[in-house]
Structure 1
Amino acid sequence: MKRNFIIILLIGILIGLTACRDKSSLNTAVEDKKELSLIELSKTLALQMSKGELKETIDALSLSTSEQLTEEDIKKVWDQILPNLGDFIDIGDTSEETIENHKVVNVILNYQNSGVRVSFTYNKDKEIEGLWIKYEPYKVEIISNDKFEEFEISFGDHKQPVEGILTLPKNIHNPPVAILVPGSGNHNADETIGINRPFRDLAYGLASHGVAVIRYHESVSQYDKPEFTIQDDCLNDASMAIKYAQNCGKVDTDGIYVIGHSLGAMMAAKIAADNEEVDGIVSLAGSPRRLEDIIVDQNEILLKATETVTEEMYKVQMNQINMQVEKIKGLKESSGEIILGYPDSFWYSLNQIDVADIVKNLNIPIFIAQGSKDFQIYADIDYLAWQDLLKDRDNVVFRLYDNLNHLFMTSNGKW
């Protein structure tokens, strides 16, 4: 299940399984390393890479992989992620599995701010044929302090419950409650993206100012449905969280608010329309436009900004994307096909929802926030579309934050 609405912040290198080379091409040091178990070898190489020592990893690549993956490629990835990680702590969990006659070993390196998963794919000669480096988020924490306390909660179907966290401000009886609805992707309750945990930060901030917060692990990621809909991905979880807020006896049932981010922001109006208990919505980096149209813009902007993409490559790629978009717009039913990274069941379900029409008919308070340097949802397109759609409405407040990105963090010029 690979969904790409938030394109950035998961940094990786993936090289496909390829043919091997003769062992005699490896130097003596690598031959010695081959006497180690694959897990010990992988731990050694991962730790070396984290220190900028890449030679032995490069020497261990199979011939065809070394033609595709250079030392500079690996260095770029580490240079991008290391400044965000904080101090190195230790080597964490390791695992090994067999996939199509290859061994895949995962090594977790623990840092102050996040883990890093380094995955190696080996052939029968212990040569590396695949290398993948990405953030490995830490487990969501439950904390209490002098301002708020947190509780693990679950709601919905008792056989497959949605697991979440209730953050309650202290010394406030029945506070208003915000339900946080994440963007696309398999998110945990913190909506962890790289080393960033925007929903954790939002929950702590709101609770410190007297607002309770419900955030949850998406059930579509917990139970891994190969074909899913927008109901599975977003709407059902949010509706069940609203029902929990109504019945838990700890919050103000006349003060239930939905705060959606990205795709969750696009669906906030639909959630409110489906659940009359919602007293207001907040759209963080959302859009009234269709998701596939936004993906077209994302790819167009990304391709134009990539120096190695020629005009011909740009035309070919955009033509392929536009063909996929037309297929989405013409869907009559689900057939199990994957289109633009999502099953067509997801696109078909989205086709039944007209966000613009729904939001125009809402009479509850609406707050629409956007960062001026958002490279996924655009201030000059999507934010203006909201303003045009909802102009002269006295129940809507707009706020554009200068130099903030998709996560409402200060932009570094890239994201």
Structure 2
Amino acid sequence: MKMKRLAASAAALALLANAVPAAAADDRSPVALWVNGSALTFADASPYEEAGAVLVPVRAAAERLGFRVSFDPGTYAVSLSSSNVDVSFRVGAASATVNGRETAFAPASAVVSNRVFVPLSFFETVLGFETAYRADVKAAEVQGGALDPKALVADILRLLIDGKYQQLSDEWFADEMKAAVPVEALASGWESAAPIAGAFLGVAAVQSAPLDAETLGVEAVAAFERMNFKVSLAINGERQRLVGLLLQPAAAEAEAPDAVVEEEVVVGAGTAYELGGTLTLPAAAEGPVPAVVLVQGSGPSDRNETAGAYTPFRDLAWGLAQQGIAVLRYDKRTYAYGDAFTPEEAAAITVAEESVDDAVAAAELLKRDERIDASQVYVIGHSQGGMLAPRIDAEGGDFAGLVLLAGSPRTLWELIYDQNMAFIEAMDDADPAKRANLDYVEAEYKKAQGVAAMSVEEAKNSTVFGFPAYYFKEMDAFDLPAYVDGLKKPVLVLQGEDDFQVYAEKDFAKYKEIFGERDDVTYKLYPGLNHFFVDYDGPGAGTLGEYNVPGAVSQHVIDDIAAWISKMK
């Protein structure tokens, strides 16, 4: 009797597979599945993606979530039950009854290889669990509470805060993590940040999603008294141990003021490097308004020019738009596409591709917008963006005027040399690393002085201060002082007196030397403001640590820029 029943069930399932939606084998793309932080393995009938939807074997996933699952081959009905939820649906249907109420899901359930499959969305819309899917790594997740990401982050932070570094390592670190981050390094890293952070307040904005078929990523924001941290964890699903832990200062979330409106735009639309951007406009604008393009400093940077806990470009955009000036900010090319560059491409990139070309495209985008006064488009360049602003103007930006924030007419490698020397001078003379660092910096400085004489191939295969030498070679081929000297447009030069990256006594003074007493060039030096024009005097002042404490661009700076542009109309 038992054998007959099994045979009948098999026959019913075989017929059912022909009677309800099923995926063609050559159309299915396998997908890894995580449930509560653990990867499920399947000998057959693995989850798959088809036509933009992820289909999951319902029994395996539901049982891992604590449900009892049954299938009636006579009615093709599937039932899931737990202590407080009863769910039923018929195979081939796109709705389920949940505690007596009908709930739709899509696409419809199906049978593949004698297993009942439901869409990943079933677990969210029908069962109420959180789901996520990473299409780039073909990995799906269902989070049902066995692994609580928020509690996990809080537990790890509590061990850090309490100084229980050995316990954190023993309980949570995978072997490879222990080797990469010794307890001593863990302690040193946290104890340097703790005095700046202040008291721990709590964990918020927790998200989790598979990083690949073996690793779950968890991200959260940890709020402290004086700053926030972005916490990133990587958890091995099989071993349930950390294989990655990163704490980075996080800028505070904020909503745009009511006096401004923001819209998403694309800089360089139709090119190989389209960049996401934000156009901020005065909400009460009548007629075309003046506008500015914001150009970031060195390195990969998002549209807000986020640095630690700072978002200076967001501050400028909101502040200027409230005074009637539109602002365009956008993600830098090396931020948006840097991970896709091959080593050869990374070694060959120049400031032309990294900054100049995209800033010109941004200016053109503004000038085509009927809401913008095309004759009143300005550039605000910060740091390296300020250095490059005259070149951007000359190579197609064609701005009505330039605002140089903490810029310099000197070479980039001179600035890097000065920054390194300042760091070395602050070191203890008894520290043996001081001599080694000094020797390294002097050797790199000598190499930088010879970059111009290098061939292109030699420069692409050499580094100076950690940068491809070709980066400096291309930048130095365009004489920055000559660009500045030949600039015949209104210029506003602004500098923070407490800036330890660009120097008032060298760089601000150099602009004054080049421009002289021209009537159309305005200078202003701000006491107490740092490289990002933030006023800060607390733990870590005068070091990179001060950027980790939330702060905003001084309102005085925003007012001065707005007043200067208004006078240009």
Could you tell me the TM-score, scaled by structure 2's length?
Answer: 0.59
Residues 302-337 of structure 1 show CA distances to partners (whole Å, capped at 9, x for unaligned) of 111123644523432323332442353433314244
Is 1:348 matched with 2:473? Answer: yes
Contact 1:42-1:105 at 8 Å conserved across structures: no
Equivalent position SS for 1:223: helix
Distance (whole Å) between structure 2 residues aligned to residue 121 and residue 77 of structure 1: 24
Equivalent position SS for 1:69: helix
- Residue 379 of structure 1 corresponds to 504
Contact 1:177-1:213 at 8 Å conserved across structures: yes
Comparing 191-200 and 68-77, the one that deviates more: 68-77
- Residue 281 of structure 2 corresponds to 168
Distance (whole Å) between structure 1 residues aligned to residue 317 and residue 179 of structure 2: 49
Equivalent position SS for 1:253: strand
Q: Rg bigger for which structure? A: 2
Comparing 52-61 and 312-321, the one that deviates more: 52-61
Equivalent position SS for 1:252: strand
- Residue 261 of structure 2 corresponds to 149
Distance (whole Å) between structure 1 residues aligned to residue 397 and residue 205 of structure 2: 49
In structure 2, do the counterparts of structure 1 residues 300 and 237 end up closer, same or farther at CA, with 3 Å as the change threshold? same
Contact 1:324-1:340 at 8 Å conserved across structures: no
Contact 2:267-2:330 at 8 Å conserved across structures: no
The answer to which structure, 1 or 2, has the higher relative contact order (CA under 8 A, 6+ apart) is 1
Using the TM superposition, give the Cα deviation of residue 372 of structure 1 relative to its aligned residue in structure 2, in angstroms.
0.5
Q: What root-mean-square deviation, in Å, do the aligned CA atoms of Structure 1 and Structure 2 show?
A: 3.3
Aligned with 2:158 (options 17, 41, 48): 48
Equivalent position SS for 2:519: coil
Is 1:195 matched with 2:305? Answer: no
Equivalent position SS for 2:532: coil
Residues 331-354 of structure 1 show CA distances to partners (whole Å, capped at 9, x for unaligned) of 331424443233334222212211
Using the TM superposition, give the Cα deviation of residue 383 of structure 1 relative to its aligned residue in structure 2, in angstroms.
1.1
- Residue 231 of structure 1 corresponds to 352
Using the TM superposition, give the Cα deviation of residue 134 of structure 1 relative to its aligned residue in structure 2, in angstroms.
1.6
In structure 2, do the counterparts of structure 1 residues 323 and 95 end up closer, same or farther at CA, with 3 Å as the change threshold? farther
Distance (whole Å) between structure 2 residues aligned to residue 45 and residue 132 of structure 1: 15
Structure with a larger share of its residues in strand: 2
- Residue 192 of structure 2 corresponds to 76
Contact 1:50-1:78 at 8 Å conserved across structures: no
Contact 1:300-1:318 at 8 Å conserved across structures: yes
Matches within 5 A, 1:303-342: 303-307=424-428, 309-310=431-432, 311-334=434-457, 335-342=460-467
Distance (whole Å) between structure 2 residues aligned to residue 330 and residue 117 of structure 1: 45
In structure 2, do the counterparts of structure 1 residues 49 and 404 end up closer, same or farther at CA, with 3 Å as the change threshold? farther
Residues 30-72 of structure 1 show CA distances to partners (whole Å, capped at 9, x for unaligned) of xxxxxx9898996365332464453422445637853652524
- Residue 410 of structure 1 corresponds to 535
Distance (whole Å) between structure 1 residues aligned to residue 496 and residue 317 of structure 2: 19
Equivalent position SS for 1:255: strand
In structure 2, do the counterparts of structure 1 residues 208 and 65 end up closer, same or farther at CA, with 3 Å as the change threshold? closer
In structure 2, do the counterparts of structure 1 residues 104 and 53 end up closer, same or farther at CA, with 3 Å as the change threshold? farther
Is 1:280 matched with 2:405? Answer: no
Distance (whole Å) between structure 1 residues aligned to residue 233 and residue 462 of structure 2: 28
In structure 2, do the counterparts of structure 1 residues 120 and 281 end up closer, same or farther at CA, with 3 Å as the change threshold? same
Residues 143-198 of structure 1 show CA distances to partners (whole Å, capped at 9, x for unaligned) of 461x2211111132425322211111123311110111111121111111112110
Matches within 5 A, 1:32-47: 43=153, 45-47=155-157
Distance (whole Å) between structure 1 residues aligned to residue 266 and residue 240 of structure 2: 45
- Residue 393 of structure 1 corresponds to 518
Distance (whole Å) between structure 2 residues aligned to residue 86 and residue 205 of structure 1: 31
Distance (whole Å) between structure 2 residues aligned to residue 320 and residue 105 of structure 1: 43
Residues 351-393 of structure 1 show CA distances to partners (whole Å, capped at 9, x for unaligned) of 2211110111111100100001001001111111111121122
Using the TM superposition, give the Cα deviation of residue 109 of structure 1 relative to its aligned residue in structure 2, in angstroms.
2.5
Aligned with 1:66 (options 158, 175, 182): 182
Is 1:361 matched with 2:486? Answer: yes
Amino acid at match of 2:520: N
Comparing 379-388 and 319-328, the one that deviates more: 319-328
Aligned with 1:57 (options 168, 184, 193): 168
Amino acid at match of 2:448: V
Distance (whole Å) between structure 2 residues aligned to residue 205 and residue 86 of structure 1: 31
Could you tell me the TM-score, scaled by structure 1's length?
Answer: 0.79
Matches within 5 A, 1:293-304: 293-304=414-425
Equivalent position SS for 2:289: coil
Residues 4-24 of structure 1 show CA distances to partners (whole Å, capped at 9, x for unaligned) of xxxxxxxxxxxxxxxxxxxxx
Is 1:221 matched with 2:344? Answer: no
Using the TM superposition, give the Cα deviation of residue 403 of structure 1 relative to its aligned residue in structure 2, in angstroms.
1.1
Distance (whole Å) between structure 1 residues aligned to residue 239 and residue 504 of structure 2: 52
Aligned with 1:370 (options 490, 495, 498): 495
Amino acid at match of 1:230: V
Structure 1 unaligned segments of length 5 or more: list them: 1-35
Amino acid at match of 1:358: Y
Aligned with 1:246 (options 358, 367, 370): 367
Using the TM superposition, give the Cα deviation of residue 111 of structure 1 relative to its aligned residue in structure 2, in angstroms.
4.2
Using the TM superposition, give the Cα deviation of residue 115 of structure 1 relative to its aligned residue in structure 2, in angstroms.
4.7
Using the TM superposition, give the Cα deviation of residue 223 of structure 1 relative to its aligned residue in structure 2, in angstroms.
1.9
Distance (whole Å) between structure 1 residues aligned to residue 239 and residue 472 of structure 2: 44
Amino acid at match of 1:152: E
Equivalent position SS for 2:334: helix
Contact 1:259-1:281 at 8 Å conserved across structures: yes
Comparing 354-363 and 103-112, the one that deviates more: 103-112
